[in-house]
Structures are given as C-alpha cells and as structure tokens.
Structure 1
C-alpha cells in the first residue's frame, strides 16, 4: 500500500491508502482506497498516550548536572541531620544549655533550606528524566499531537519523529479490509490496528469511527493458566487475508508538507 494525496476542486486535501500495483497502473483487483487521514487521527487519539511513555521526554543534556546536584544536596542534608541528631543526643544526656540551644536554633533553618533545595533538585531531575503526573503526561501528549500538524516545519518534523519512534514500540499490525454489501456499489472499508503485543485491537470505519476492538492487557499479567494461554494466542492474530498490512510508523515518516 502507498499513501496518496488528492484534492477536490475547492482545494481540500484528502489522504488515502491505495494498492501499490493499482497506483502504478498495473492490473489489480484491489482498487479500493482507504481514508488514511481519518484513520491517523482516530488511531493517534487511541494510542498516543500509551506509546509516548516517559522515555520520549527525557532531556539527556540536563540529567547529568542534576544528578550531581541531587547527590551533593543529599550529602549536605545527611550531614546537617547528623549534626542535629548529635545535638539532640547531647541535650537528652546532659540537658539543655545556652550554647546547644543556640547551635540548634542556627541548624534548623539550614536544614530546612537544604531539604527544600534537595526536593526542588529531585523534582527537576524527575522532569528531566521524563517523569510526570497523569495530568502532566496528558498535557504533553496533546502538545505533541498538535505539533504533528504545526505550520513550522522543524516543529512538525521533530514531533513526527517522536511519534514515529513511539508508534514503533507499540503498534504490531495495521490491516485494511473491504467487504462488498449487496445493493451497494462502494464496499464497506475497515482499517484494523493491533497494539501492545496485540492485546489492544481497534477497528475503524472509513470515516475514522471506532466500530469494534478489544482490550486484553490484563491477560498479559495474569497468573491464571487459561488467561496466560489466551494472551499467548492473541499475540499472533490470524487475520483473514487482509488486502494490505502497513506499519503506521512507516507511514508517519512523511510530513504534512509532502504533495
């Protein structure tokens, strides 16, 4: 299958998947075309938040210095806590006096400030490693999704590279199928996508609406023999001679600016 772009008389652009032989003018019975643009939008809505894990948001140029900063501050906090512990031990053993009380009063704000700096450095390190709350993760996924269609070429290309690499790690198979319906000239067109070791299945119609699928991810981690066996079985789905099998990652190589 190849991706082609067509425009109507008003200049509206549509993207399709089409049999390579048919597109090259050779004789082929597979003349059906599938709306790729509708499929891409629907597919990314379903799996992008799963595909884009923390590893795709790592800032490697920041992690090194932050690791050193966290280590240094951790040592500083450890030393200050040791001093406080020694002072408290002295007070418990000999009672309070003016000197130890002064030392303790000076130590408390130092320890509080060191702990604050350590917490801030650790948070910065976590972010540099790509860690985020569910809300933050959703926000950055939506940001990447918007960037895929950015008018800025560099932003768009970087986002598509990120998505391409992420999709490769989760999508197993995409298949296109047609079914002729009696009394209708145009066949029913379906694009099916398997992901997460085929434990996720999504079926879309030609307009990008999800019309079926499954979520069997819980079986992959089950200790029940019957569920484990089923998990292994669905990891290799036996599709009934699909018209085409295309890797979504490969199609995502193209940019919006392509003709």
Structure 2
C-alpha cells in the first residue's frame, strides 16, 4: 500500500511538471509569440546570433522541441539556412541544460509567490499580460512540482526493488541511456526527464556516473519527438530535426565512455570539499 502511494505521488508530481511546462509554452507564445518567431527567424545572420537565438527561445519556451519545430518550419520556408538552423538547435540544447540547472537550484519555496504574481497578471485586460501571467503560473507549478518530486522520491531510498533496479542500471550504462531516452520520449520533454533524474539523485540512491548517463539519455530522447513530428513535412524540415538527433547521438557516444571519469572527478571534489574545513581548523 505504501509503495502504491509513493508511485501515485511521483506520477502526480511528474504530471504537474509537464502541465507547468505546457503552461509556460502557451503563455510565452501568447505574450511574445510573434516577436519570438520573428526574432528567431531574423537572428540567424551569424553563428553567434543563431546560437543566442536558439538559447533565448528555449529558455523562454522551456522546450527545445518547440524551438526545433519552429526552426524546421523556417527552413521549410527558406527563412533560415539549414547550416544556421543546426547552430540554433545547439543553442537550444544549451538552453535546456541551463533551464534544468535554474529549476533545480533549490528555489521551490518561491512557487507560491510566482503563482500569485501570475494570477495577478492573468486577471489584467491585456492579452500580452495574460500570456505572461500564464507563463508565470506555469513556472510556479514547475517549482511546486520539484517540491512534490523531492517528497515523493524520499521514501524510495529504502525500497529494495528500486535498489535492485538502480544496481542493474549502474552495471549496464547503455541500458540506462536507453531507459532515460525512453522517459524523455514518452514525456516529450528532456527537461522534465532531467528534473526527475535530479530529484532521484538528491536522495543519494544514484551514483554520479549513473546520473551522467541518465542525463545523456534524457537529452538524446528529447531529440526524437521533433523528428517524428516532422516526418510528414518536406525534406528540408526533416533534415534539420534528424541532424539535431544525429548531433546528440554523436555527443552521447563521445561522452558515455567518459562518464566514469566525470564521476571520479565529482567524487574527488566532494571529498576535497569535506576535508578542507577539517584541515583548515587543524
């Protein structure tokens, strides 16, 4: 019975996170949609501007999938060159990583204030302000879901079944990579998958190496939905989304063998951080 309650709480928190992401996307689209699309279409004259455009669009929309689909449509209409489109998507990938870092920095206590501010804006007469209010409500719900995820995953530390499953993944990193990619694909959000992974990691049940592998898998799985969404489109749009998937897959192939080294570096830094105050006091 207790395990059933834990799973209900976990799935509910994930659902709230996905709903918050959708609210942010809808709110930003309503408030800044036209300007965001025009800025993304015109801000691709150089590699640096293309990268910055993808970064800003993804941080605003909280979705690299939405950015990828917009860029693919711009390539289809010849508003963006295919080469610059890939640079835009690289910026979108970095934007997703930065967004996950911001969301996971322990600011969940701000969620009531953010939701209150969003409600005040949402009740105003301006359509742009209503969109901004919807986006703020979505951000507040995302922060609230983090608190719920932390509470839901805390009892998992004592679960023998989860411990055995984590041990299985820790001994088979390619399986862990595919598992995280599947979660990101099902949720259509690499950000949601990364936040879930970080919530589990905060309980201490995941090793540093496994966390790195799971995050790699989440980023890989997040590139699949745009490919599927563009299958019915022209060849130019399909090349953009498929190219993004290939770039992420190559990155995973390069980073996967280095995950153990990254885990050792993290462990070494933690040990040094713990030992420094002791040596200073002696």
- Where is the helix percentage greater, Structure 1 or Structure 2? 2
Q: Is this a same-fold pair by TM over 0.5?
A: no
TM-score normalized by structure 2?
0.25
- Where is the strand percentage greater, Structure 1 or Structure 2? 1
Which protein has greater RCO, CA pairs closer than 8 Å, 6+ apart? 2
